[in-house]
Amino acid sequence: MTGRLVLLHGWGADGDDLRPLGKALNARMGASLDLVTLDAPELHPQGSGRQWYGLFPADWDAVPTAVSQLQQRLLQLHGGEPALKKTVLFGFSQGGAMAIQAGCELPLAGVISCSGYPHPNWQPPSEHPPVLLLHGEDDAIVPFEAMAEIQNKLDSANCNAIPFKNGHTIPEETMRPIESFISSMLAKRQ
């Protein structure tokens, strides 16, 4: 395995939602990534899609259990804990919030959060994997200010934040910085 990219979908989607993004990144990187898309454990309350925890209304009390379960799933992937050092965790929206909290506590190659947010009372460890934050300046779902909230809690030398001109999405313009981050993080782990 040259590297692994684990994709965490947003509220109301499922693992298939980010599969095209993973395939596009893999094509750009010469098929060097083992792609893993995870489904959130809970059904979405409206019947289609999934959720990492209840969001409307927000069930913040469920977050610690959801994060712990995600960390266990990551540790159970092929190769176990040693493979995490060649794994980049990517999350969008609610998946971005999960990626930040779960990923900063694991020995990952890197963590990417697009349109994510910090969970209430989240305190990351002082030492964490490199983090790339991406957020649309016109995001009407997760406020753009959430990126700064995350950035302010992380070690500034180990966190890069990139705003983009768009809403609650993963636009084409983010592909290059995502690809560059993944390549750089995995190269450091060879």
**pLDDT category of residue 1 using cuts at 50, 70 and 90:** very low
For residue 24, give the amino acid letter.
A
What are the φ and ψ backbone dihedral angles of 138, each rounded to 5 degrees?
-110, 25
For residue 28 the two structure tokens come to: 């750009």
pLDDT at 157 over 60: yes
Pairing of strands 33-38, 42-43: unpaired
pLDDT in tens, 117-143: 999 999 999 999 999 999 999 999 999
Domains of the chain listed by start with CATH number: 3-188 (3.40.50.1820)
pLDDT in tens, 45-89: 988 899 999 998 999 999 999 999 999 999 999 999 999 999 999
For residue 89, give the amino acid letter.
L
Buried b (16+ CB within 10 A) or exposed e, 141-174: ebebebbeebbeebeeeebbbeebebebbbeeeb
Predicted pLDDT of residue 190: 65
Opening angle at CA 171, ends 144 and 124, nearest 5 = 45
As a whole number of angstroms, the distance between CA 92 and CA 72 comes to: 20
For residue 171 the two structure tokens come to: 């636009």
